[in-house]
């Protein structure tokens, strides 16, 4: 791992993990489409649901190198990764502390499934140290955070949470999807487990559904027991697409960082925008924390329209497409109340600070003048 940490992220994206077939000396990992493997001469049976095929292991090595983690599991989706971690490490009688402002899919899973299994939970009232300490119980086993959060881009102090977890003997978990390994490495800040929806920045082309779990080899071995039972494995063809995508991850994310910063500055000054949520803005509540723990502020931002109808605004956009998901090379926009947080009740959305005027923008790699021009013409919509 030390060697992997000594090379740059662009180099790691391209080279780490690649499997070279000595018989056919191609520079890319071959795609092994078999789901049946001979076993007599192998110490371990190979099978996709066992998470040990060559194409699966290549992904783990590459992303683990980027996240400075020992090992991992590549999964069929981000929610497969999240649910496998929770179900694999928690038991009846345990309590979990979840950060306020969870991704809608995570929130729905927590509310719908955990109590059935005898697992209780608390959601913090805020993201400061006192909020996490106040949520602890004698039976707390885990703290789970997401930063930057979806969709309001709140920034939680990762090192602070990791220290609380260590002091109380808890497992710390972070959803690092919005930041990507290019912008943020929670393992270096003391976090135990990192999860990603690889559907987003790691895939980056809006054509892959995948997830990943990263941690120590010992903890991954424990989580793998549950993963075998749940069966959330990823096929070889999708692994190959994901490996190819990660090779350009740093290039894509750096461009998205730059574009999002300019878009956030533009929107903050526009008369039809009442508020912008972006950690790169000095006006962001926890900008100083973001500066400390992030090397880039990401390609995600949210904003609230002042008077315009959000649906009419989205329909007037030309270049920017209203679409679910995020992190692709194209700029997309969505209304959280209609997509990621639609399963929440009105009161739950209000509690999270999400209203119908809020729009989430996933900034792509297009030329920034073209992105700004499209936003400008749509914001000039007659009220």
- The burial class, CB within 10 Å (0-12 / 13-18 / 19+), for 323 is middle
The secondary structure of residue 18, as a DSSP letter, is P
Closest to 29 measured CA to CA, from 261, 245, 328, 349: 245
The verdict on whether omega for the bond into residue 315 sits within 30 degrees of 0, i.e. cis, is: no
Question: How far is 303 from 157, CA to CA, in rounded Å?
Answer: 22
Compute the CA torsion angle 340, 355, 109, 362 (nearest 10 deg): 30
The alpha carbon dihedral of 233, 238, 240, 245 has a sign of negative
- The burial class, CB within 10 Å (0-12 / 13-18 / 19+), for 40 is exposed
Question: How far is 371 from 373, CA to CA, in rounded Å?
Answer: 6
Residue numbers annotated as active site: 49, 103, 175, 200
Cα angle, residue 372 at apex, residues 340 and 248 outer, rounded to 5° = 65
Residue 283, token pair as written in the block: 């006006």
The residue to which tokens 């930041």 are assigned? 179
Question: How far is 343 from 338, CA to CA, in rounded Å?
Answer: 9
């Amino acid at each position: 791992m030390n060697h992997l940490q000594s090379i740059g992220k662009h180099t790691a994206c391209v080279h780490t993990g690649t499997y070279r077939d000595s018989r056919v000396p191609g520079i890319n990992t071959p795609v092994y489409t078999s789901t049946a493997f001979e076993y007599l001469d192998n110490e371990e049976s190979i099978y996709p649901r066992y998470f040990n095929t060559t194409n699966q292991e290549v992904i783990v090595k590459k992303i683990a190198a980027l996240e400075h983690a020992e090992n991992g599991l590549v999964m069929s989706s981000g929610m497969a990764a999240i649910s496998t971690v929770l179900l694999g490490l928690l038991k009846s009688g345990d309590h979990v502390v979840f950060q306020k402002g969870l991704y809608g899919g995570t929130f729905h899973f927590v509310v719908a499934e955990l109590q059935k299994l005898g697992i209780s939970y608390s959601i913090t009232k805020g993201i400061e140290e006192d909020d996490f300490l106040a949520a602890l119980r004698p039976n707390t086993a885990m703290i789970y955070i997401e930063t930057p959060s979806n969709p309001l881009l709140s920034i939680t102090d990762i090192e602070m949470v990791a220290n609380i977890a260590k002091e109380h003997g808890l497992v710390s978990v972070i959803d690092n999807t919005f930041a990507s390994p290019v912008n943020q490495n929670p393992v270096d800040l003391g976090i135990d487990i990192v999860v990603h929806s690889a559907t987003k920045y790691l895939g980056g082309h809006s054509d892959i559904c995948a997830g990943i779990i990263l941690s120590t080899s010992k903890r991954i071995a424990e989580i793998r027991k549950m993963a075998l039972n749940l069966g959330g494995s990823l096929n070889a063809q999708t692994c190959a697409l994901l490996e190819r995508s990660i090779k350009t991850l740093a290039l894509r994310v750096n461009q998205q960082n730059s574009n999002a910063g300019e878009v956030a500055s533009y929107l903050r000054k526009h008369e039809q925008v009442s508020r912008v949520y972006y950690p790169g803005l000095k006006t962001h509540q926890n900008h100083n924390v973001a500066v400390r723990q992030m090397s880039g502020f990401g390609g995600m931002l949210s904003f609230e329209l002042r008077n315009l109808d959000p649906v009419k605004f989205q329909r007037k956009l030309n270049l920017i497409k209203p679409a679910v998901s995020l992190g692709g090379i194209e700029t997309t926009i969505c209304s959280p109340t209609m997509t990621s947080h639609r399963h929440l009740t009105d009161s739950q959305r209000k509690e999270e600070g999400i209203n119908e005027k809020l729009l989430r923008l996933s900034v792509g790699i297009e030329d920034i003048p073209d992105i700004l021009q499209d936003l400008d013409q749509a914001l000039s919509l007659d009220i």
